[in-house]
Chains A and B, each alone.
Chain A
Amino acid sequence: MPVDVGALSQAEPVDRLGGPMVPTRYEVVSRHQETADSVTLALMPVDAPIADPTPGQFTMLYTFGVGEIPISVSGCPQREGALLHTIRGVGATSRALCALEPGAVVGVRGPFGVGWDVSAAEGSDVLIVAGGIGLAPLRPVIREVLTHRDRFGRVAILIGARTPGELLYTEQIAQWRSVPDVHVDVTVDAATRGWSGNVGLITMLLDPLPVTATAASVFLCGPEVMIRVTSRNLVDAGTDPDRIFVSLERNMHCAIRQCGHCQLGPLFVCADGPVVTWTAAGPLLAVRRW
């Protein structure tokens, strides 16, 4: 989504005064309604900007007077001209963020965490599997891979959503489909007549697998159950669990490895993740109750 950055682009990054817990002011410069309950906000710094995020990292977005939540970066300013976040309104803070209009000011902390190592996939097949709002943190990966298409082997993008109406980035999905030599497939859990795509669980898109299982790097984000069933299917098909990268969602609060809200076993997901390999995540997600 190109954004008119205007005068706001002139600010230079500086060391954060007050440390990583102090938010920086950003202005909402555009708002795009993605679905009935999801919007993409483009943000530009009012003060000095935060450091450039990498795909897969997240920021803490603060709606003044309401609260602060972790939101994955869905577009990096160095690529998109603004900091993009796609937010689904499911709670008080996320709904307040979704309701913001251009001109509103929010607080931003970050970027935090470990993102997707796209360069590690160079030379291999790439399989990107996204479920629901999980497509948001994978959008920068898709952009990166398609920008440098010649660096990768076969490329497949598989997307699952609840219904056709809850599918994110429909215009971009159409663009991705038009890229030669890229396999894009979508399935929804439920649809009415008129939907010409697939209906069924996202694992249906893995059979037959559109990449070579043993030669693939996988980027996977979505609900935890989806991550589990998809990763297990891929490992059964021969994919190296060290090459399956999953993004974990946990209840990040401080985002700096202090409060422990996001702990998953030995991992502080805010700092050791959110992106980890299936080798690391698999045993932790198999624990029935922490």
Chain B
Amino acid sequence: MNTITIRDLLAEQAVLHDLPAADLDLIAGCARNQYFTPGAFLAREDTDANQFFVIREGKVALEMHSPTGSLLMETLGRGELVGWSWLFEPYRWVFDVEVVAPTRAIVIDSACLRDKCDADAEFGYRLMKRFARVIADRLQTTRVRLLDLYGGGNAR
């Protein structure tokens, strides 16, 4: 019987799959697999960003709470990386992350991974490039959404 390891799961993720095998081993040492039910929170605004996530299946929502209720900003699903607050001091979440559909995620201990990045700068650089790509993609799509594409049109 073949056992699927956390490293195997990491290698299946588009954001990480072409990293060198040794890098996946390093990440796997800080990772675990976890199932979340709808209504659970992966993160709460202004709490310590002790971990981040790669969504294997399911859906989560980035939210910001307000006195009138939570504001929904974006949903993230299969293959998406959730959380980069762990990269930068003061390592605190900026948004809530709520599970909105049954979700399986790889949970990565951020302090563990930061230590490995600090110890191996080349590994850290390769990982940062992945995160920078994700951050750039999210920024670009956010900018396009700000254009309010569907609000315009031929005004005749």
A joins B in a complex? yes
> Which residues on A are within 8 Å of B, measured CB to CB?
67, 69, 88, 90-94, 131-133, 160-162, 166, 187, 189-193, 195-201, 203-204, 207-208, 222-223, 225-226, 229, 249, 251
Knowing A200-B141, A207-B79, the reply to whether A162 touches B73 (Cβ < 8 A) is no
Shortest Cβ distance from residue B100 to the other chain A in the assembled complex, whole angstroms: 7
A199 to chain B, nearest CB (A): 5
Contact sample, A vs B, 20 pairs, CB 8 Å cutoff: A69-B154, A69-B156, A91-B154, A91-B155, A93-B156, A189-B145, A190-B72, A190-B145, A191-B72, A196-B101, A198-B77, A199-B73, A199-B75, A200-B76, A201-B145, A204-B141, A208-B78, A223-B149, A251-B154, A251-B156
CB nearest to A205 among chain B residues: B77
Bound form: Cα–Cα A69–B61 in Å: 40
The minimal Cβ–Cβ distance linking B58 to chain A, given in whole angstroms, is 12
What is the minimal beta-carbon distance from A155 to any residue of chain B, in angstroms? 20
Contact present for B150 and A189 (CB under 8 Å): yes
Contacts of B76 in A (CB 8 A): 200
Nearest CB of chain A from residue B96's CB, rounded to whole Å: 11
Question: Nearest chain B CB to A186's CB is how many angstroms away?
Answer: 11
Contact of B156 among A92, A192, A208 (CB under 8 A): A92
Apart from A193-B72, A197-B75, A249-B154: 16 A-B pairs, beta carbons within 8 A: A67-B156, A90-B155, A132-B149, A133-B153, A161-B150, A162-B150, A166-B150, A187-B75, A193-B63, A196-B101, A199-B74, A201-B144, A204-B77, A222-B150, A223-B149, A251-B156
- Interface size of B by CB at 8 A reads 30
Least CB distance, A173 to chain B, in whole angstroms: 16
B147 close to A (CB within 8 Å): yes
Main secondary structure on A side of the interface with B: mixed
B150, A225: Cβ atoms closer than 8 Å:
no
Q: State the main secondary structure of chain B at its contact with A.
A: mixed
| Residues 35-88 of B at the A interface (beta carbon under 8 Å) | 59, 61, 63, 69-79
Q: Return the contact of A226 from the options B61, B75, B149 (Cβ within 8 A).
A: B149
B residues whose Cβ falls under 8 Å from a Cβ of A:
14, 59, 61, 63, 69-79, 100-101, 141, 144-145, 147-156
Report yes or no: B154 in contact with A90, Cβ–Cβ below 8 A.
yes
Q: Are B150 and A132 in contact (CB under 8 A)?
A: yes
A223 in contact with B70 (CB, 8 Å)? no
Which residue of the partner chain A has the closest CB to B149?
A: A223
Q: What is the CA–CA distance of A231 and B18 in the complex, to the nearest angstrom?
A: 25
- Given A189-B145, A192-B72, A208-B79, residue A162 in contact with residue B156 (CB < 8 A): no
